[in-house]
Amino acid sequence: MRSASALGLRAITSLFLGCGALALAACSAEGDTPAPVASDKVYPVTIAVVQPAATSATIAAAGTVRYRYETPLGFTTAGKIASIRFQEGDRVMPGALIAALDATQVGASLESARAEQQRAQSELARFQQLFEKGWVTRAQVERAEATARAASAQVSTAGFASGTSRILAPSGGIILARTAEPGQVVAAGTQIVVLGETSGGMVLRAPMIDSDITRLAPGMPAMVRLSALGDGVIEGVISEIDARANPSSGAFEVTIALPANPALRSGQIGTAEFRVAAGPGDTGLAVPASAVFNVRADEGFVYLLDAKGSKVRARAVQIGKVDDRQLIITGGVKAGDRIVASGLGLLTDGARVKPLATRQPSRTRAAPAASNAPAR
């Protein structure tokens, strides 16, 4: 029994040793097969041709449609409002009566001033007669003359107040705002209504930063887009540029005159685009944003296709400007060079490639902050 057990143990040991030898042989056989070299792989890529950057640039700004003249109107004297004849949105004709004060107080003030004027003139006439007879002095006559002049001035003031107790439309237009109601007691100069004068036309007022307005000038055309007009474009002209910035925002307001259009309303929001000459930062070479990787500060890399079009080499480039329209390269490549535009995520210096297509530099995408991920 003991001898049989020993023989069984030796048989099992021999079996394990044989399996181990076969496994080692198999591993050795696999190790003898050469692994594929990365440089032997061919990667499909899209190629872009480096081209000169655009010679012009577009400046865009958002603004609000307004009447050129939106005039606040009010009374020049205090009093109680008797009537306001128009509501917001009503159209008025030139000279139309918009609002009036209660004439009771204003009329009483005018009558009182006229009565005082008559009294002062009568007293002046009496003093002049007495002076001729030698019964009063010259100084007393002069005081009577001053009193009469003051009374005449009071009549003029009361007459002006009576005339301005009504608000008349200075020109035709639309009532944009009504800020008071009949029966309300108002002080002199209080705004009652705001009149949008149609004679001045409509404008778009857009706040802009100082670096942008230095490239604009009155008379330049502007393409204006309003959501209320759908995809339609209005061609306007710059009519005014503020000489000083808004103290609170620091922006300069640019006024764009708009052609007559019945769809325009005060308060609509729109955008204006101006075509200007390219600035110093816009000159250079334009490349697709996706072609640049490992971006750091103003430097990055591109994969440059060799003359045979079969291999790529990493090339350092200098980045001049990056925005939402284009990426400008100022050094490292030249116009006409072919670079990898997409599919560069798996590439290395000296990799073999198969160009699939050639496309123009992208003008609508900004460069990634740091991109070396595989293309999807």
Span 85-101, pLDDT tens digits = 999 999 999 999 999 98
CATH dotted code for 102-165? 1.10.287
Bridge partner list, 322: 327
The residues of the chain scoring below 70 in pLDDT are 1-39, 55, 105-107, 159, 161-164, 278-283, 323-326, 357-376
Q: What secondary structure letter does DSSP report for 311?
A: B
pLDDT for 196 = 95
Bridge partner list, 321: 328
The answer to whether residues 99 and 193 touch, using CB atoms and an 8 Å cutoff, is yes
The answer to whether the 43-54+281-359 and 102-165 domains have the same CATH topology is no
Distance CA 269, CA 143 (A): 64
pTM, two decimals, is: 0.57
What are residue 126's phi and psi, to 5 degrees?
Answer: -65, -40
pLDDT for 283 = 67
**Tokens coding 101:** 């004060």
Half-sphere exposure of 25 (CA within 13 A, CB side): 6
pLDDT for 25 = 41
Amino acid at 7: L
Distance CA 76, CA 122 (A): 32
pLDDT for 359 = 59
pLDDT for 202 = 95
CATH dotted code for 43-54+281-359? 2.40.420.20
pLDDT for 151 = 86
Distance CA 285, CA 76 (A): 64
Domain boundaries, the chain: 43-54+281-359, 102-165
pLDDT for 363 = 43
